[in-house]
Chain A
Amino acid sequence: MQLLMFYIFGLGAVLSATLMVTNIKPVTAAMNLVLTMFFLAGIYVLLDAHLLAALQIIVYAGAVMVLFLFVILLLNVHEKEGATSRRKVMIQFGSVAIVGSLFITMATLAEIDPSLIKAGDVANPFGTTKAVGRLLFTDFLLPFEVASFLLLAAIVGAVILAKRRIDDSK
């Protein structure tokens, strides 16, 4: 059952991600990205990381993608004219092939020498809000605070940039 769900979510994520990249309509592409986020959240749930799944949907699907959509709609981004050039397609295919072969190599290496990649033994309720919260505020307090500081800096920067533009236009 779990494996079946994983295949459904995995296939869905890959399919929607592909559609997102290949679609020429910006809005449809954005919606496909939302779908990808959803399937990823499903995979998180399968991994028992419920908090992460919920946050994934709230932050990415709910907030970030609505902003994306807002920008796409406001700037009125048009469909890209003409087909993609052959060279670009070649580059895309090449990079997909390289990444794919890297993954396959990794998987084979892990099979030959299991000590290389270990599936970490995690305590069972590791995905609950309590467990994640405890980790964030004890072991990873410094990175957590640094990240929040970075976000604050970004907010201040955005306000300054936006304000300058408003002042200029006056």
Chain B
Amino acid sequence: MVAELTESIVKILFIFGVNIGFFSPILGWVERKQSALMQDRVGANRADICGFTIIGLFHPIADAIKVLTKEDFIPDGADRLIHTIAPFISLTPAIIAFAVIPFGGQYDLFGHRVNLIIADLDVGLLFIFAFASLASFGAVLGGWASNNNWSFLGGLRASAQMLSYEVVMGLNIIGVIMVYGTLRLSEIGAMQVDFFNWGIFLQPVGFVLFFTCAIAENKRAPFDVAEAESELVAGYFTEYSGMKFVMFWMGEFLEIVTIGGLVTTMFFGAWHLPFVSDLMLLDFFSFAGPNGASILAILVNITTFFAKVIFFIWLQMTIRWTLPRFRYDQVMRLGWKMFLPIVLINIFITGLVLLAK
């Protein structure tokens, strides 16, 4: 009982620390540097302590101080309650979703079986979709409650876009579920021990569609019609300031991390190195004793997993600064008239292949 409790608390603190403590402040800096790199600029480098700038890494701290001291402004005629709640609604699902993503295998540690996933749910994949679908409320309500026409339009666009792409995304994971025969993400991860069993080989079309839909679901460029600063000022969070504004951004950044984690788990072998199984890792580290071997193997698992996640974060950032924004009707046409048929055909072909096997 005590061992299980400590295990859960350690895992929760770890994921929380990585997401809130590391990724969400660092990604703000990464986004600036990435855009600077791609536009041949220097990027944020003015925040310094005693002359040291460490390539602009003090900027997250400066930003934090700024947003915490900024006036929290609620516009006239806004729905005060919903205006306040909306950022929370868009941030919470992004934090929760990581609970069902495995970041390592199962190991015996001090006579106790450690499963490197916070909640090993039977309906893991559906759980993520359940909470991802709730994130749209944050955008819609935020836009509506601001009592501003630009915000309102942004909120409407956000809801329509997220609903449309959720359909494709939901149908898309059906292919993955068919191939692996389970919704439990830790099992999907465990089945990818074999390099040629990685999702990218079994569901190549699924990967491309999933990744695109995930970016659209996250409302990032080229699908950022909901905030479209050249049309709608800043879309649904035009009227937000200070901490609440940052919560929308944190939600977006954490969703980038979650997308990276999901793509890694479903299509890129989860915590596995190519051709290396967990048992081989344990064998390799057997010089450190049973517990030491487990700890080292866990560290390798976690490093591998987060290295892959960071790669996909980088990919999303690159796409965001490479492609221009689609027009709203183009976004809708892409979702309904192109992706939906492709995804249905994908399911059909997957079924045929599985039948033929």
Interface on chain B toward A: helix, strand, loop, or mixed SS?
A: helix
Smallest CB-CB separation from A55: which chain B residue? B126
Known A61-B133, A66-B163: A27·B123 in contact at CB below 8 Å? no
A65 contact set on B, CB distance < 8 A: 137
A34 within 8 Å of B (CB atoms)? yes
B31 CB–A CB distance under 8 Å: no
User: Chain A contacts of B162 at CB under 8 A?
Assistant: 66
Minimum C-beta distance from A135 to chain B (A):
15
At the interface with chain B, which of A1-9, A67-75, A143-151, A160-168?
A67-75
Total A-B pairs, Cβ < 8 A: 76
Contact A62 B140 (CB under 8 A): no
Is there an interface contact between A70 and B130, defined as CB atoms closer than 8 Å?
Answer: no
A29 to chain B, nearest CB (A): 12
Whether A63 and B155, one on each chain, are in contact in the complex, defined by CB atoms closer than 8 angstroms, is no
Starting from the known contacts A63-B166, A66-B162, A129-B122, 15 additional A-B residue pairs (CB-CB under 8 Å) come to: A25-B79, A27-B79, A27-B141, A28-B81, A28-B82, A50-B122, A58-B129, A58-B130, A62-B129, A62-B130, A62-B134, A66-B137, A70-B140, A73-B156, A129-B126
Q: Closest Cβ of chain A: how far from B239's Cβ, in Å?
A: 16
Residue of A nearest to B127 (CB): A54
A21–B156 CA distance with the chains assembled, in angstroms: 25
Of the candidates B131, B133, B144, the one having the most CB atoms from chain A within 10 angstroms of its own CB is B133
> In the complex, A50 Cα to B170 Cα: how many Å?
18
Q: Is B301 an interface residue (CB 8 A)?
A: no
Q: Which of B108-137 contact A (CB under 8 A)?
A: 121-123, 126-127, 129-134, 136-137
Tell me the complex Cα distance, A54–B133, Å.
11
Report which of A67, A74, A128 forms a contact with B156, defined as CB distance below 8 A. A74
Q: Which residue of B lies closest to A34 (CB)?
A: B137
Interface residues of B in 224-282 (CB under 8 A from A): none
Q: Judging by beta carbons under 8 Å apart, are A73 and B183 in contact?
A: no
Instruction: Decide if B159 is an interface residue (CB 8 Å cutoff).
Output: yes
